[in-house]
Structure 1
């Protein structure tokens, strides 16, 4: 089992919240520390406009700065959105980042789900899956082929030869970001894509079902056994005092819900066959779940002392299988940098070593 850190900003610079400059500075410091402590990966989202992720409209820019300051830490998009960027541009940016990092890039691609983002880019929600699939395929082929002529539904170009080619050959590991949609997991497995899953938003049974569908599709398609990579993300709050960790978790998760409620509010009046059930997201964003005690009990949030979190991760490994990468969502901007730094040190020193052989 490997451990990474995940940055998902839920701040907007108001009411004493960090400015963008402060958020990025803290993030770069934490990434350097993670590299020093032996973490495997740092991952960053792509979102726009809202306090819910809006400090990260271009994860590639931030990850290039991380790559320049670190030696071992893999840099991961979690995820970039092909629907919002021409594939020639996106493939070129990612290839540059892979070279700048010395071949440490993991590329997560996602569909996006906020109606306001699609409206701003002039992209119909109902085209999201098709644009996602075309964008991913176009990027992979641009990385691996010369004189490519592309005649897609949404883009036509060529013949072109991408420069630079990625440092990793034939291309960086490609992940599909999913909240557990079974069709998305099945297609990812069939196509030999790796999987990024936000395990904290679903029940254990739903996550197990999604992973089962993905692993079966991977095997049935004839991809080499044991070569698939699965990244699972969980919020993490760690302190030597359990109550302190829980208070941090309650505060950060409440802020996350508030920020998310604003970002998804358009779903109250929007419907799309591509997003079944999302029209109920606005009403469910606040007060839609249990308190932190129950969410910790269900292993949707990692929180408590090092002993507590170690026990949670042992159960998670039993549930979902060894060999996964657990992404610790630690940098929302809602906690002081020193608090997050302390948690990262506690985890690296007192939790991670117990899973070195798993």
Structure 2
């Protein structure tokens, strides 16, 4: 198993100034490299406390690249629906060069109605815009004199500059929340996968992973080599009661920010997002204790987290784990301590399968 950190902000100006958030997040990036983590990841969201401090993951990851030498940089994820593919492919290729080939590009469809409304884009177009954007970027990276005549964009023939550092292009990951068809499509295309254990039952995740690996095999890709990322809220302390109490506090805080962000689904319906009209109800009905009992959060003492990860590996195999170490407006010192305890007392138990 490989482990990295996911710097998903859930704060606004009332809780923390933006400059302080970025200063602390970049300090955590430096610590992650020093402690031997595999990657650092961040998100693309807009104007809401749920992720809004990260409207452009490329800008943040470029700063992270300047402070590090080894750690992988992952967009988790960029949104093709909101950016022209010429611009998106170009700035990602630029980051790939700045980092000397340390970039993994995660693409996502987005799911918040308020963001689609702000960009004046229909949610019913999200899947075709996503598919067109990913394929256009892939071709711009790997081909010359690209001519594109799609449903949403038309350009070329042209050759994009700069060319990516990694050839033929940076590794591609596809984010999926609940849609099995996305897993099959990602597998057939030979892409990696980013999944969200916190919102799915174990059996559903196993089914989706099976479809992904079947898709890879059917297209001639090794079904066991696809990179699969899972993100988990993470809080460690040597004292079990402290870990539980603080982990619960930050989890419920994050849940509140998520509820605010998805409130638009109370007035929105889209065939591209079946079942999302019930998302507010599902999130409201969840509980930290249930999440912990189902190993959907990596909270506890180091030994408790080792045991949780052991079960996760039994269920899903050697997936790549992203630790959400700042969600819930955790104080910097507690985020840093969680990372240190995890690196010193948890990661060694999984060293035999580390990348």
Scaled by the length of structure 2, what TM-score is found?
0.97
Counterpart pick for 2:325 among 330, 337, 345 = 330
For residues 100 and 300 of structure 1, the distance between their equivalents in structure 2, rounded to whole angstroms, comes to: 35
1:5-59 alpha-carbon deviations (Å, 9 max, x no partner) = 0011111121xx1111111111000000000000000110100111011111001
Q: Secondary structure at the match of 2:325?
A: strand
2:339 matched residue in structure 1: 344
Alignment of 1:242-257 (within 5 A): 242-257=240-255
Counterpart pick for 1:357 among 344, 352, 355 = 352
Runs (5+) with no aligned partner, structure 2: none
Q: Secondary structure at the match of 1:234?
A: strand
1:218-260 alpha-carbon deviations (Å, 9 max, x no partner) = 1111113433111111111101011111112211111112111
1:153 matched residue in structure 2: 151
| Shift in Å, 1:283 | 3.5
CA contact (8 A) 1:237 1:330 kept: yes
For residues 136 and 79 of structure 1, the distance between their equivalents in structure 2, rounded to whole angstroms, comes to: 12
Would you identify which runs of 4 or more consecutive aligned residues in structure 1 move more than 3 Å?
A: none
Q: Secondary structure at the match of 1:331?
A: coil
CA 1:304 to 1:333, structure 2 compared with 1: closer, same or farther past 3 Å? closer
2:201 matched residue in structure 1: 203
| 2:299 counterpart of 1:289 | no
2:127 matched residue in structure 1: 129
Aligned-residue CA RMSD (Å): 1.0
Scaled by the length of structure 1, what TM-score is found?
0.97
1:6 matched residue in structure 2: 6
1:298-319 alpha-carbon deviations (Å, 9 max, x no partner) = 1101111100000110111011
2:308 matched residue in structure 1: 312
CA contact (8 A) 2:252 2:328 kept: no
Alignment of 1:49-128 (within 5 A): 49-128=47-126
For residues 182 and 298 of structure 1, the distance between their equivalents in structure 2, rounded to whole angstroms, comes to: 21
| Shift in Å, 1:182 | 0.3
